[in-house]
Every structure is written in structure tokens, then in C-alpha cells.
Amino acid sequence: MPSVRELSALYENVMLAPRSGPDVCGTCFNFTAGYARCYACTHSPPVLDAFAPISYSVAHEQLHHALASYKRLNGDVARRLGAILAAILWRFIAHHERCIAQAAGVARFDLVTIVPSSDRNRDEHHPLRRIVAELVAPTRDRHERLLLRTDIEVPARSFSEAKFRATKPLHGQAVLLIDDTWTTGASAQSAAAALKVAGAGSIAAVVIGRHLNREWHQNDRRLRGIAQPFEWADCALCAEPVALPRRQS
């Protein structure tokens, strides 16, 4: 059996570490043109107390394909991708849960849960739940299924407090939410809102891939400025801010 270190190292050359800095959204690490928050983050309520993306996931590139395929495919290919993604999550949380907890104002997270799929039927067998609840040692003992998708229709990529509901009342526990991908953040923020309604304390989210399009504005230049290979000792929350290449004037 390959180790967590060996499996996670397979993606070191395609992972792109988000870093805070000028022209980077202070909530979601999207690139901005000089704004403190990106468009999506100024248009949905900032319910999460902290957010840490492990890597950027660039549309149509390798990590993006892995994040789509591990839940779309079956059999050995899906299992292998799931094992790699589990190793990435394991190694990152083992190194950086403290940073995320500190950013959320707590010592550690009492509970860990996943952001449910928007599709109720798919959510029943979401492979991310197996990763978080069974494979990843730093999360499996604290995992509980805390959220369900409600019957309420919510447009894709829209924030709604009613999109999810908690499976039980909470009493101030700090919750770590895990998702595979962050696009606009609407799902993670909606999930956090449902947990707050149920009585949760601080809530933070970790995602494996913060989705970006390379063609959008200056994203290609910005992505090329990120140091590689991926450095496990730093995360988006504990690393020094980095001045990535600015816009060409």
C-alpha cells in the first residue's frame, strides 16, 4: 500500500498553492483586479469564519479532471483518484488544521462534515463522504453527517439558507466543512448558514480545489507566478502573503 506521502506527492506538480496578497480575494483567494473581495464574495453573505483552499483547480487541467472524475467514474480509476484525493486532504489537514482553527477563533474543530451534493440522489453515495468518514485519519473520528439537501429549489451557484438543513441541533460546536471544489462558494456558505441556524459555533471550510479559469482576465499570468512544486509546510492561511505578477498596464 502506498503511503499518504507517496500518494499525495503524485499531484505536487499540478497543485497550485493559493496565497493571500494584493489582488487576491480575502475570502476565497480568487484573483481580483485590485479589490479586497471578488464579485461572488461581495454578493453572498460571508457566513464561514475561515476558509482554506488547498490548491487552485484550473478548468480542464489535471486536478480539475481528478475532482470531477472521482465522483463520476466507477471502479479502479475512481478508487485510485479517491485514494490520491484522500491523501492530499489527510496531509493538508494534519499540517494545517491548527491554522484553520486559529483563523476561525477556536482551538480545534469538534465535528467534521461534508458539504452535501446539490443533487439529493447523488448525495446518498457521495464518495467524498467515504473519504472524510473512513479514509482520512485526521477527520474520520469526528465525522458526522450533519447536513441534508432540502426539497427547496435553489438556482445553481446561489446562496440560500434553506438549501440544506442540519440533521440535529448543535450546541455551539465548532464544525469543519469539507468539499472537493469551491466555485463561487455558494454551496459552502449555504451549508455553513444551515449549521449556524442549527446552533453551531465557529465554522470553517477546507476545499481541495478552488476553481479558476486560466483564460479569465489575468489569471494565466497570476497562476504562472505561483511557486512549484507544491509546498506542504505552508497553507493559504499561514504562509507569508505573496506579491504575484500584477496586471500589465
- Interface positions, 219-238, toward Zn ion (CB under 5 A): 235, 238
Give yes or no for a contact between 101 and 204, defined as CB atoms under 8 angstroms apart: yes
Q: Which amino acid is at 241?
A: P
| Residue 176: strand, helix, or coil | strand
- Tell me if 188 contacts Zn ion by CB under 5 A: no
DSSP one-letter string for 130-167: HIIIII-HHHHTTB---EEE-S----TT---TTSEEES
Give yes or no for a contact between 120 and 154, defined as CB atoms under 8 angstroms apart: no
C-alpha cell at 93: 489537514
Interface mask toward Zn ion for 54-93; x: CB under 5 A: ----------------------------------------
- Tell me if 32 contacts Zn ion by CB under 5 A: no
Give yes or no for a contact between 96 and 108, defined as CB atoms under 8 angstroms apart: no
Interface mask toward Zn ion for 90-129; x: CB under 5 A: ------x--x------------------------------
> What Cα–Cα distance (Å) separates residue 147 from each residue in 36, 165, 191?
31, 6, 7
Q: Of the two residues 26 and 225, which places its CB atom closer to Zn ion in the complex? A: 26
Stretch that binds Zn ion, among 5-13, 39-47, 67-75, 141-149 (CB under 5 A): 39-47
- Tell me if 190 contacts Zn ion by CB under 5 A: no
- Tell me if 25 contacts Zn ion by CB under 5 A: yes
Q: Of the two residues 133 and 176, which places its CB atom closer to Zn ion in the complex? A: 176
Among 15, 41, 88, 112, binds Zn ion (CB under 5 A): 41
Q: Of the two residues 63 and 235, which places its CB atom closer to Zn ion in the complex? A: 235
Among 4, 15, 24, 38, binds Zn ion (CB under 5 A): 38
The alpha carbon of residue 57 and the mean position of all alpha carbons in its chain are separated, in whole angstroms, by 10
Regarding beta strands 50-58 and 203-212, do their DSSP bridges make them parallel or antiparallel, or are they unpaired? parallel
Q: Of the two residues 89 and 99, which places its CB atom closer to Zn ion in the complex? A: 99
Site residues for Zn ion per CB under 5 A: 25, 27-28, 30, 38, 41, 96, 99, 235, 238
